[in-house]
Amino acid sequence: MGKRSKPIVSGLFGLVAFAAGFGASNVEARDIAPWKSVTNAIVIDAYEMNIIDWDAMATDKRIAGFISKASDGLPESFSCSGDHNGDTVNHCRTMWRKYAVSRELYQTRRMLARSRGLLWGAYHLARPGNPIDQANHFLDYATPRDDELMVLDIEGIDPDNFMSLEDAGIFAGHIKTRTGRYPMLYTNHSTAKFIAEHRGQYPILSRLPLWYARYKPGIRDVFPMGNWDSYALWQFSAAVNCGKRRCPYRVAGTLDDIDVNVAAMSPAALKQVWAKGELLPEKPLPKLLLVASGKASSSSGGGIGVDLMLTASIRIADNILDSSRRRNE
């Protein structure tokens, strides 16, 4: 993700799984080329233009999961009749064919991946526009099963091209309302760092397990970052750093433009936590941020810290979302 105008984490992993898997004390194994370890699971993610020979790819036994692009922004309007000129109607019909073909490809890949025992996931490329409509569009397109991962893809902080972080929080909350689970968050280093540094403003977004995109052999000293003690998935290889002469990881049956990710755990362990959809634990905000906000606890102990208020707010929001979901069921 994060290139070719396609997509570039409430939580995939619960507290126990996170502490056991992503809070590992072996920093060297976690942060320096973990894909070289045969025990770490590999996950492929693709969009409709990636070429895949499934039989050839199946020869790589380390590949444990496949995440496919599903929806992109708001749903298209495919009303191709009415007061339109010829060019508009032809464009509308072309877009409808593209949408229909890409959705059929999504379902075909889903069937192929699951038939081969791969974990399945889907991502939504978040664009400007109503976040609730986008969340509904994603769920209608991807029709995620209970054992399938859901991902919100935020390519960067660019309001002209991508969903705002405020709307991203609304998107994640609506996914929770409809499914009872949160999505994972996919984003790059600079956006993740901004969310972590401003996590008081993004109490849900900053607690979604992180699918971290950074094309370097090592990420020493990046984590901990805000509420993230580590990555859930690390996208380490893509067209930007994989070519004919050199590539961090080549996947049989694909071209150099395929995106490759590593998990900080084995395939068996990854399967256990793949689609949990839980928020990560919240860490207290630094005292400097509490004082700067004007809401720090008083020296007499009569005040309440911002971190406690945010925790209470999320619990209230979760209760409201769960109540709303039960009413709609």
Contact criterion met (CB below 8 Å) for 118 and 65: yes
pLDDT in tens, 174-215: 999 999 999 999 999 999 999 999 999 999 999 999 999 999
Q: Show Cβ contacts of residue 187 under 8 Å, excluding neighbours closer than 6 positions.
A: 8, 153, 154, 155, 156, 195, 210, 211, 212, 213
- Classify 150 as helix, strand or coil: strand
- Classify 261 as helix, strand or coil: strand
pTM of the complete model: 0.80
Contact criterion met (CB below 8 Å) for 56 and 16: no
Q: How far apart are CA 142 and CA 125, in angstroms?
A: 12
Is 315's pLDDT higher than 60? no
Is 158's pLDDT higher than 60? yes
Contact criterion met (CB below 8 Å) for 205 and 239: no
Q: How far apart are CA 273 and CA 269, in angstroms?
A: 7
Using pLDDT thresholds of 50, 70 and 90, give the confidence band for residue 290. Answer: low
Contact criterion met (CB below 8 Å) for 62 and 251: no
- Give the Å distances, CA to CA, from 176 to 48, 169, 183: 27, 11, 8
pLDDT in tens, 13-28: 443 344 334 333 344 4
CA angle 32, 37, 41 (to 5 degrees): 105
The mean per-residue pLDDT over the stretch 112-124 comes to 98
Using pLDDT thresholds of 50, 70 and 90, give the confidence band for residue 76. Answer: confident
